[in-house]
Structure 1
Amino acid sequence: MTKIKVGVLGGTFDPVHNGHLLVAQKALELLKLSQVYLVTAKSPPHKASYLACAEHRHSLVEKAVQSTGVKELVASRLELDRPGTSYTVDTVRAIKQEIESRHEGSQCEVFLITSAEYLEQGKAGVHFLGDWEGADELFRLAHLVVTPRRQITAAIASEWAESLLARGARVTVLDLQSPPISSLLIKRRLKAGEPIADMVPAAVEAHIKQFSLYQGDLPDFD
């Protein structure tokens, strides 16, 4: 049976930036994946009032992916087109089923790429991965790929992962040096009229400015 390894990197991508692209490309390379799907999320209830509309966010992802010239990166609107509430476990299941049906006799192995912050328990404003809808099924369907973020090092992420390993999750921590970029920092720069060319692809910056995105109130979280 042929095995097909794909990565799934989901997010609100509000906006997508060079840090997201770095993670996607490094996962593609280090894990020897066939493709990485960048899946634009619907509006989570706790962020909905601050997000750019889904179509703009997805257009930015499409432009960002095109700018890399890496054909193995795929901008996916799977969650945007699915009616009702969309959970990560549903997305992973759908991608796995779609690939296996398209490649008869194959087995799709999904690698869910996520930030280390979701491994921390009890932090306000962060939804612990172990509490996600259908978490145990998600652990069966996908191998978790965790990337450090800000002060959360690979060593800290590995320690936090222990609670998920005890539940049967498969976890790999990628020790990446991510650039000091965040979506909130980009928004702050835009509102202040400061440049963002070092943070996003040129096509993403052009789209943001063309449609005057991110000029309203900003959240106090990222």
Structure 2
Amino acid sequence: MEADRKLRVGIMGGTFDPIHHGHLILAECAYEQYQLDHILFLPSGNPPHKQYRPDGASGRDRMNMVALAIADNPHFSLEADEMERSGYTYTYETLQVLQHNHPDTEYFFIIGADSLMAFDTWKYPEIICRYCTLLTAVRDDLPFDAMQRKAEELKRSYGAKILFLDSPELDISSTALRSRFRNNRTLRYYVPDCVLEYIEQNGLYKDTQNTKE
């Protein structure tokens, strides 16, 4: 690597409850298309906008599933920062911590189209935009010109740097997968085999008695 070149690191955040192939494919597309050096998978700790459901897995289980899913990819790694903080966790705080600890790194935060359109509702969006570039997945059911208009609006309001990802659109949601599994339908091909094995061995998503961490 050139001495004066910053490390280019993508951040793939989410509850990952459970992690699925859609997450992994989106992260790999970001890595390839924008010549990133590494991708951090950042399981959400306790985001105020997405409180955990009684049918969800514990924080430790979610981290374990991510670790299993990315273990065979040398440019993917697990970042546990939000899981180790108490109280509500916010993206702007996470980015501040990462940038403070790694000042020679340029961060690219990977988000979906829905997150782009709702970005104004995030806590301190101007701080988020100060510390990262937003890599946004494009969705077929959301007109691209609408996304471009929103991107221009965010650039004017917050100085946002926004790039778009060309990635296959996989209609997979963790919420739907939990429901599917509770109804005795297979998750094969939706999640990595190692994740499915972990879910089955640990009795996840079958009842509402899991203890959250």
Range of TM-score over shorter length = 0.7 to 0.9
TM-fit CA distance, 1:156: 3.6
Question: Are 1:208 and 2:202 matched, yes or no?
Answer: no
Counterpart of 2:35?
Answer: 32
Counterpart of 1:91?
Answer: 94
Q: Would the aligned equivalents of 2:111 and 2:135 in 1 still touch at CA under 8 Å?
A: yes
Q: Secondary structure at the match of 1:161?
A: helix
> In the TM superposition, what whole-angstrom CA distance separates every residue of 1:162-195 from its partner, at most 9, and x where no partner exists?
2212121010111211222111221122112111
Question: Are 1:162 and 2:152 matched, yes or no?
Answer: yes
Q: Would the aligned equivalents of 1:146 and 1:157 in 2 still touch at CA under 8 Å?
A: no
Counterpart of 1:184?
Answer: 175
TM-fit CA distance, 1:113: 0.6
Counterpart Cα distance in 2 of 1:113 and 1:98: 20
Question: Are 1:64 and 2:69 matched, yes or no?
Answer: yes
Q: Secondary structure at the match of 2:134?
A: strand
Counterpart of 2:165?
Answer: 174
Question: Are 1:3 and 2:6 matched, yes or no?
Answer: yes
Counterpart Cα distance in 2 of 1:153 and 1:182: 21
The residue type equivalent to 1:205 in the other structure is: L
Counterpart of 1:125?
Answer: none
The residue type equivalent to 1:62 in the other structure is: A
Counterpart Cα distance in 1 of 2:192 and 2:169: 16
Identify unmatched segments of 5+ residues in structure 1: 101-106, 121-127, 218-222
Q: TM-score, normalised by structure 1?
A: 0.84
What percentage of aligned pairs have identical amino acids?
28
Counterpart Cα distance in 1 of 2:139 and 2:90: 23
Q: Would the aligned equivalents of 1:158 and 1:173 in 2 still touch at CA under 8 Å?
A: no
The residue type equivalent to 2:199 in the other structure is: I
The residue type equivalent to 1:206 in the other structure is: E
Alignment of 1:39-188 (within 5 A): 39-45=42-48, 46-50=50-54, 51-66=56-71, 69-100=72-103, 107-120=104-117, 128-149=118-139, 151-152=141-142, 154-167=144-157, 168-188=159-179
Bigger relative contact order, structure 1 or 2, given CA contacts below 8 A and separation 6+?
A: 2
Identify unmatched segments of 5+ residues in structure 2: 209-213
TM-fit CA distance, 1:153: 5.0
Aligned residues: 202
Instruction: State the 4+ residue runs in structure 1 displaced beyond 4 angstroms.
Output: none
Q: TM-score, normalised by structure 2?
A: 0.87
Cα root mean square deviation, aligned: 1.7
The residue type equivalent to 2:138 in the other structure is: P
